Structures are given as C-alpha cells and as structure tokens.
Amino acid sequence: TLIDLSRKNDGSQDRAAFAKDVAAGLSQSPKRLSSRYFYDANGSRLFQQIMALPEYYLTRAEFSVIQRHRSAMVSAFAAAGFFHLVDLGAGDAMKTKLLLEELANQKKNFDYVPMDISGAAMRELGDDLQQTYPELHVQAVVAEYITGLKWLKQHLTERKVVLFLGSNLGNFEREEGMDFVRQIRQHLQPGDLFLLGVDLAKDPETILAAYNDPGGVTAAFNLNLLSRINRELGGNFDLEAFSHFALYDPQLGVMKSYLVSRREQEVYMEATGARYAFAAWEAIHTENSHKYTLQQAAEMGNKAGFKLVTSYLDENSGFADMLFEV
Ligand code: AVJ
C-alpha cells in the first residue's frame, strides 16, 4: 500500500513554499538554496548516477557494511519477535534490500515501511518489492521526515526498528542533526532500535573527490537546482553562467557545495515577479555534507537519549552503521 502524506492537492502549496524559500535564499547575503530541493525526478535520477560513480565511495562503503554485518544486524532487529522496519529516506532502498533478503532467508517476522519525499521512488519500490517478495507487507509512505515520524507513532503499534542510512544526516547542520536524532528518539518507545548511517571523517582528498567528479555528474546534480527553479518557478537562469564548486573543511568536517555566478547578471523569477542580482563570482551555497567521527556520532545518540549497541564498520573504517537502542 502507498500512503501519500505530501502536501499535494494540485501541488500549488509545494510550489508556493519552494518559491518563498528560493526568494528568501537569493535575497540574502551570502546567497543560499536548500539541498532539500535537489530531489525532483531529474535530481533523483542524477543522484542515482552519483551513487554509481567510482569517486562516490559512500554508497559502496555502506553496502559493504551491511553485506559484512547483515546476519548480526538481522539477529539484533528480530531479537524480540515481530517488528516494523521503518526506512527513513528509503529512495531505491538499494542497501536495505540486502537486509530484506537476509530477513527473508532467516524467516523473520516483520513488515517494511519505507518513507521518502519522492512519490515516484515509493511507487517504484512498492511495485519492485511486490514482485520479489509477494508475501512481504509493505506500507510505502510519501512524506517529509517529521510528518512521517508522526504518522508512524500514530499508526504503527508494534516494536520499531528505524533505519536512517546513507549519511542523510550529513545534510543537517550539527545542531539540526542533533535535534533530528532527538525527534526520532521522541517518536520511539523503550525496546525500539535505530540504525544510523554515518560517513566518517577521513582523508580530505577522498572526501573532496566524492563531491567533485571529473565527469561532472555532481555538477549537473547541483545545477539541476537552477533548472528546477526555471521549470517550476518560471526562472530564467542561464546554466552556462554558473559553475559547480566544492570544498572540504577538514577542521569542521564539512563538505560544502556552491554554484558560482561566472559573470555579473540578473535572474528573473515569474513566481515572485522579482529579479535577483548576482555580482561576478558571487556564489550561492547549496549543500553541506557533514562528516562525523565515531565519538561525535555516539555522543549525539547518547544526548538524544539512545544507548549505543554496536558500530558496524566497512573494511576501511570509512563508514559506520551505528545501532542504537532506546
Ligand atoms: C544524499 C545527502 C547523502 O551528501 O553525500 C551527493 C547528497 N550531494 N553528492 C551526500 C550528495 C552531492 C548525499 N546525501
């Protein structure tokens, strides 16, 4: 079943909220746009391509974490009988499928609740799993994180195992990330589990390369934000006049991405009827991807009211899936 909690109707509310955010971000100094708007159909497709890049180690590293440890993970999940497996920001569930396979092999008793803001992704995943596991009960939820968390607290009565994989926490500022983990904790009960995927601090060159591929897929992903504004808000961004620029701050552990205006220019947006001026080489900040040490992530979990059970690592200790319990 598909449960759509997105502010739909005719999409006009979403569009208005998007226009408001964009207008605010382009009117402030320094300029910024939120990375949450990357994932329209086009952006989701580009992110799939990023995950297949040789430089983008994150997805393969976490895949390897799960491959190595899935038997132990599944035993921990199912230690107290039936559970709801909740997958926040599931996307194509590429990594979760390893767990589903293991759960099926071990004949564990659970249902699967993927959640994502992409309706297309949830429909595809639902159909796909129906084919592979006709017996598995799947409730795919289309929602933003907090709406999804509220829904699960109201509708799921049994023990919950919540997955938040793929270093998705990295897009939050440290403080916001902490708040979000607290939110998750507040929607869970004693006995519930939380598996958090964390990209660990490592060689800055390795991190930078993952967000700056020579083929320009990440650049296209970043620039799609401007295409989306053109498409949905009647913008007239000239994509040739902006460049992707990425840098890593090894002290703060944060990967930062920008779109740099290559010349002085003005951009018009129908949705607001306003013009936005860019100086030559003025940048729009579009994304932060925070990296954590194991200690930082453990401390965050503890402060949110979780107890760390185990940290599962890949062979290079570059990525961790950290299992917390309430
Ligand atoms: C989906 C947030 C995990 O930050 O690594 C990939 C998004 N941005 N390349 C990340 C992204 C540029 C990705 N997350």
**Which has more pLDDT, 50 or 39?**
50
**Could you give the CA distance from residue 124 to residue 104 in angstroms, rounded to a whole number?**
20
Report whether residue 6 contacts ligand 1, using a CB cutoff of 6 Å. no
Distance (angstroms) between ligand 1 centre and the Cα of 105 equals 31
Query: Over 90: is that where the pLDDT of 156 sits?
Result: yes
**Where does the pLDDT of residue 148 fall: very low under 50, low under 70, confident under 90, or very high at 90 and above?**
very high
Residues 6+ apart with CB under 8 A from 194: 161, 162, 164, 181, 184, 185, 188, 301, 306, 323, 324, 325, 326
Ligand 1 atom closest to Cα of 221? 12
Q: What is the mean pLDDT of the chain?
A: 95
Q: What is the pLDDT of residue 193?
A: 98
At residue 117, the pLDDT reads: 85
Q: Is 224 in the pocket of ligand 1 (CB under 6 A)?
A: no
**What is the average pLDDT across 63-80?**
97
Q: What is the pLDDT of residues 101-131, one digit of tens each?
A: 999 999 999 999 999 988 888 999 999 999 9
Who contacts 302 (Cβ-Cβ below 8 Å, separation ≥6)? 308
Q: What is the mean pLDDT of residues 226-242?
A: 98
Output the pLDDT for position 9: 56
Both tokens assigned to 11 = 């999409």
Instruction: Give the pLDDT confidence of 160-195 residue by residue, as tens digits.
Output: 999 999 999 999 999 999 999 999 999 999 999 999
Please give the pLDDT value at position 291: 98
324 CA → ligand 1 middle, Å: 23
On the question of pLDDT at 8 being above 80, the answer is no
Q: What is the ipTM of this complex?
A: 0.99
Contacts of 177 (CB under 8 A, 6+ apart): 169, 170, 290, 300
Confidence class for position 10, pLDDT limits 50, 70, 90: low
Q: Find out whether 126 and 2 touch, Cβ atoms under 8 Å.
A: yes
Nearest to 169 by CA among 1, 6, 324, 12: 324
Go through 284-319 and write b for each residue having 16 or more CB atoms within 10 A of its CB, e for each that does not: bbbbbbbbbebebbbebbeebebebeebbbbeeebb
Q: Which ranges in 234-306 belong to alpha helices (H)?
A: 294-303
pLDDT at site 119: 86
**CA–CA separation, 25 and 34 (whole Å):** 8
Output the DSSP codes for 190-221: TT-EEEEEEEBP--HHHHHHHTS-TT-HHHHH
Tell me, what's the pLDDT at 52? 95
- Residue of 27, 45, 3, 60 whose CA lies nearest to 227: 45
Q: What pLDDT sits at residue 13?
A: 76
- 167 pocket-lining for ligand 1 (C-beta < 6 Å): yes
Q: Which of 60, 167, 223 to mutate to test the pocket of ligand 1 (most atoms within 8 A of CB)?
A: 167
30-44 pLDDT per residue, tens? 999 999 999 888 998
pLDDT at position 217 over 90: yes
Distance in Å, CA 218 to ligand 1 centroid: 9
Q: Identify the band that residue 323 occupies on the pLDDT scale cut at 50, 70 and 90.
A: very high
Predicted pLDDT at 6: 83
Closest CA to 163 of 66, 36, 75: 66
Q: What is the 197 CA–ligand 1 centroid distance (Å)?
A: 13
Ligand 1 in contact with 287 (CB < 6 A)?
yes
Segment 201-215 shows an average pLDDT of 98
Could you report the per-residue pLDDT of 283-321, keeping only the tens digit for each?
A: 999 999 999 999 999 999 999 999 999 999 999 999 999
